[in-house]
Amino acid sequence: MIFGRVKPLDAILATAQKKSLTRSLGPFQLTMLGIGAVIGTGIFVLTAEAAQKAGPGMMLSFVIAGFVCAVAALCYAEMAAMVPVSGSAYTYSYAVMGELVAWMVGWALILEYAIAAGAVSVGWSGYFIGWLNTSFNITIPHALVRGPFDGGSINLPAMLIASVITALLVKGTKESATVNAVLVAVKILALSFFVILTIPVIKTGQFTPFAPLGFAGISGAAASIFFAYVGFDAVSTAAEETKNPQRNMPIGLIGSLGICTIFYMLVASGVIGTVGAQPVFGPNHEVLSPGTPALSAACGAIQEQAVVCSKEALAWTLKQVGWPFVGWLVGAAAIIALPSVILMMMFGQTRIFFVMSRDGLLPEFFSKIHPRFHTPHVITMLTGVFVTLFAAFFPVGLLADVSNSGTLFAFAAVSIAVMVLRKTDPTRHRPFRTPAIMVTAPVSIIGCIYLFFSLSKETILLFFGWAAVGLVVYFLYSRSRSNLGRGIIDVAEDEAYEGLNPPVPGTH
């Protein structure tokens, strides 16, 4: 039975109740936390992908993706406030909908974290190669800096950065709050410069045709751009430390997402209005998908003179409008800030694996701790190998879309869990309650499904293939070895983490 093995919520909460976190965060701090967590890779890297799918209509794509994130965030916040422990959507699902659903959510989160880390590595590579070319006039052949789907053979810089981050995680190096704050400031400063320099020179004629590929193109771009918003869960998980969470959580969530959406639309306007953002078509005016050899060939035919051809869209745009030095600075900002995102994604991945291993759903050796570094070195290295391979051979757009498929599935599951728990356990203390739950949660679920099916057919098929593999693994291995199935209920949620680094809020 799907809902047969439900992990008792009281057992999950036992450890959380031992912790006493000070409620110190107000609406301003929450909003700033959200902006820092959300603004990242997506806007630096995926602008070109969105332009190829939607043209100037990508501005509407940012609004759609931001709205779906907002309603999902409100559902996420209730669960995060009520179950403030490790494991994110996986733990919430285990407590409400049972082991099989939890397993599938955890399995989907592997797509979110590991493949997202690969996507960021590829995005970093694009800016790094552009920076090398601008700074030292070094041109590296496409064969060595792009994967086979993107007109090359292997992406060596992306492999390199993924390997370095893996080594850092094994050793136990983590960012301090100060370093993270500096990197957030660098990202926001770079994007602010971009907006200030491009908005005044916008030509309105560049915005037509607004939707060259119709609303389907805008929906497809929204599904990809969703990647640029994920990270708001850093706000959701701060519910336990928020003063007056019922009032301040919605302000922090909606405020940060609203500001980010406006920021993103200004950046998109700057790109569209200065250099244009019309898609590049094939020789017979056929639609070309981002990250394909066909698009690489079409871009080669026009000497890469279109923003959709650029691997460093924002830096390229600034160079085209006569600000090469600021373009160089924006590229440098991306090179400095993006590795921290890879670190956070890979850290999040090891945390999910760790929780699943502790629950008996994955082999016990995954939760082995290094005797000297006190880090989960086995699973970190295994994750690193996969991230490095993803980064080496796949384009950023495909990786981002596949990552989004896992994230959307997890968010939909959390939205369902919130509604189910309102019915099955209505008296439980909820520090934050999702407003208008019977409207907000269904809208969130419908929004996630809408964006999921706006992804490319290949991505959807890949997700279902991954889910099928997950079901096979569950029934052949995990179900019989599950601690819950064997009657073992471990209340001390965090004992397994003794000596590990604390988690860092995720960002894309």
Q: What is the CA radius of gyration of the chain?
A: 22
Q: Give the pLDDT confidence score for residue 303 in this predicted structure.
A: 86
pLDDT at position 87, please? 62
CATH assignment at residue 170: 1.20.1740.10
Residue 84 lies in a domain: yes
State residue 36's pLDDT score.
Answer: 76
Q: What is the pLDDT of residue 176?
A: 54
Q: Does a structural domain hold residue 87?
A: yes
Q: Is 412 left (phi over 0), alpha (psi -120 to 50) or beta?
A: alpha
CA 229 to chain centre: 7
- Indicate the number of domains in the chain: 1
In a domain, 1, yes or no: no
What pLDDT is attached to residue 237?
A: 62
Residue 25 backbone dihedrals phi, psi, to 5 degrees: -90, 130
pLDDT at residue 84, rounded to an integer? 66
Cα 120 from Cα 411, distance rounded (Å): 21
Model confidence pLDDT, tens digit, residues 32-68: 877 877 887 788 888 998 999 999 999 999 999 999 9
Q: How far is CA 29 from the centre of its chain?
A: 22
Residue 35 lies in a domain: yes
**pLDDT for residue 144:** 92
Per-residue pLDDT reduced to its tens digit, 227-248: 988 777 667 666 667 788 778 8
Angle of the 88-96 helix axis to the 396-424 helix axis, nearest 10: 30
* In a domain? residue 503: no
Instruction: Give me the domain span that covers residue 185.
Output: 9-497
Those residues of the chain that have pLDDT short of 70 are 1-4, 7, 11-23, 84-87, 173-178, 233-234, 236-240, 489-508
Give the per-residue pLDDT at 209.
92
Report the 10 Å Cβ neighbour count for 162: 31
Q: Does residue 506 lie within any of the structural domains?
A: no
Q: Does a structural domain hold residue 3?
A: no
pLDDT above 70 as % of the chain: 88
In a domain, 379, yes or no: yes
